Chains A and B, each alone.
Chain A
Amino acid sequence: MSFRFTQTAIDTEAARRELQDFGAGGYVSFEGWVRDQNEGQEVTRLEYEAFQELAVKEGDRIVAEALRRFPVKRALCIHRVGSLGLGEMAVWVGVSSAHRGEAFDACRFIIDAVKHRVPIWKKEHYRNGNSGWVNCERCAAEPQHPPEHRHRVATAPKEPV
């Protein structure tokens, strides 16, 4: 299982051990953290929700694609769900590889594709008491925008090769 969810803090040490491989010369990881600002609003907390059955399938497909595209050894992605405070880790991606270049590339590919394709949603809660589903509320306000609209994931990869 190369993509999974957790309700509790991500154990990065345990996750890192899953990537160990005697053929690997190193590993790259990415951690996504809850930030205190988004689009000019002061964020106090985030709530993550996922359609887990499909999300795990799609996440596994993304990691499998990364392993096909890049000559890396192992890859893993773990995503939190539930309510997260500032500074908490929302997502972790790790890739081990013989050489560093493809490890960076594969890690970047996975996090970009996860943000773009996996059915996970986050609701931001703001200092002023408001809240909103990221990417949805603005979409609803502009129903005419084109279907190919990429929301805020400007670097999203193209469809699977």
Chain B
Amino acid sequence: MSVAPIYGLILAGGASKRMQRDKAALKYLGRTQLERAFELASRHVDKVFVSVRADQISDPTRAPRPMIVDLGEGEGPIVGIRSALAAYPEAAWLVLACDLPFLSDAAIEGLLRRRDPNSLATAYKSAHDGLPEPLCAIWEPAAARALAGYQAGGGQCPRKFLIRHAAHLIDPLDPRALDNVNTPEEYSQAAAALESSAPMQLKIQYYALMREQAGRSEETLETSAATPADLYTELTARYGFTLSREQLKVAVNSEFSDWSRKLAANDAVVFIPPVAGG
């Protein structure tokens, strides 16, 4: 059996009672949450759609992008996911809630890399309670039938569904990546945090085993990693480096550095695996 292609689905249908505003239109660093989530998914999969209710089709925040309109009865994320599975039955879906402002490329890459296409879904474990995070997850085509049965039995909660169907669960690399934002207070805190850790460009050079595992000898990278330690975590999610940080040294701008040094824009970083001169 071949592995299903993955499309992206941005969930932006939900009414937001606690926020008292349309969450999709909240802005971080000058971009709406919906734009940010859509662009994030577009960097990793070929097709991305916005999940909407029928009454949101002409909403200006949502309308400019390809949409999948909720089919049938009920509301909530499970309807959006079922509608996508029904619209493209051959595809698996990278499902992302639009209210995860800290979601990073590294988190998406980690999810895609550790996908188990033989489970109904691959999902991160919540850093708070260890339960599946259904709205940053890959839902496989085979989930369609099981979801229909679950909803027919009165089920509405995608998290409970993933628990019941033993989704493939993976550990988050950055526990904050999946923090969601539900209240005006959380929104202003998240916006401030993102402003202060706005991504910067770093130059990374790779040698020896690191070069082989990264598949390149250098790259320029946009990242929010504050320290070499954060950067190594991010790049390990991307490239699957086998050496742990304790086995390495790190250099910044061609001098040995502390792992907790604060990185600055345009710093050049080199991870140094165990040396073997002579």
Contact surface of A with B, Cβ cutoff 8 Å: 32, 48-51, 53-54, 57-58, 79, 90-91, 111, 114-123, 133-137, 139-140, 143, 145, 147, 149, 151
Query: Given the complex of chains A and B, what is the CA–CA distance between A139 and B275 in angstroms?
Result: 11
B254 in the interface (beta carbon within 8 A): yes
**Number of A-B residue pairs at CB separation under 8 A:** 89
Count how many chain B residues have C-beta atoms less than 8 Å from C-beta atoms of the other chain.
21
Given contacts A57-B255, A133-B276, A151-B276, 4 further A-B contacts (CB under 8 A): A133-B273, A136-B208, A137-B209, A140-B243
Is A119 within 8 A of B246, CB to CB?
A: no
Q: How far is the CB of A144 from chain B (nearest CB, A)?
A: 8
Interface centre among A114, A116, A139 (most CB of B within 10 A): A139
Given A121-B207, A121-B208: A139 and B255 interface contact (C-beta under 8 Å): no
Is B270 within 8 A of A51, CB to CB?
A: yes
Given A114-B277, A114-B278, A143-B243: A119 and B272 interface contact (C-beta under 8 Å): yes
Query: Given the complex of chains A and B, what is the CA–CA distance between A91 and B278 in angstroms?
Result: 6
Is A122 within 8 A of B277, CB to CB?
A: yes
B260 in the interface (beta carbon within 8 A): no
Query: Given the complex of chains A and B, what is the CA–CA distance between A120 and B276 in angstroms?
Result: 6
Is A121 within 8 A of B273, CB to CB?
A: yes
Query: Given the complex of chains A and B, what is the CA–CA distance between A58 and B255 in angstroms?
Result: 9
Interface centre among A50, A51, A123, A151 (most CB of B within 10 A): A51
Query: Given the complex of chains A and B, what is the CA–CA distance between A38 and B275 in angstroms?
Result: 16
The 9 sampled A-B contact pairs (Cβ below 8 Å) are: A49-B207, A58-B256, A115-B275, A117-B275, A119-B275, A133-B208, A133-B273, A140-B242, A145-B247
Query: Given the complex of chains A and B, what is the CA–CA distance between A15 and B244 in angstroms?
Result: 39
Q: Which chain B residue has the least Cβ–Cβ distance from A151?
A: B274
Of A32, A54, A136, A147, the residue contacting B278 (CB under 8 A) is: A32
